[in-house]
Amino acid sequence: NAGVTQTPKFQVLKTGQSMTLQCAQDMNHNSMYWYRQDPGMGLRLIYYSASEGTTDKGEVPNGYNVSRLNKREFSLRLESAAPSQTSVYFCASSDPRGGNLKETQYFGPGTRLLVL
């Protein structure tokens, strides 16, 4: 089991460029999440997908779009990157059916994005 995987690990973009961050989980989890982590601010939820076929905005969705491609994969797209989107992005998953562990989230290793 690889758990939650993310690609790429590191990316440098110029302002206005677009890119897609990929996330996949092999734990058969229903729910998936995208967070960003900035210094001194903890993690903030960008978008989440409670189940395959659904997506919802989190705390900081502006400038991002998501796609729940299938149960395994949840991608995050920046259509026109801005320096304010320089951050570390984490994908996570959870299984609402998972008994006592249903509210536990499992995190990927992160993608470090620098927008110049």
3-state secondary structure of 100: helix
Instruction: Please report whether residue 43 would count as binding other proteins according to CB under 8 A.
Output: yes
Q: Toward other proteins, which CB reaches closer, 56 or 79? A: 56
Q: From 11-19, 21-29, 70-78, 100-108, give the range in contact with other proteins by CB under 8 A.
A: 100-108
- What is the rounded distance in angstroms from the CA atom of residue 113 to the CA atom of residue 87? 6
Q: Toward other proteins, which CB reaches closer, 14 or 53? A: 53
Instruction: Please report whether residue 47 would count as binding other proteins according to CB under 8 A.
Output: no
What are the angstrom distances between the C-alpha of 37 and each of 27, 89, 107, 112? Answer: 24, 6, 13, 10
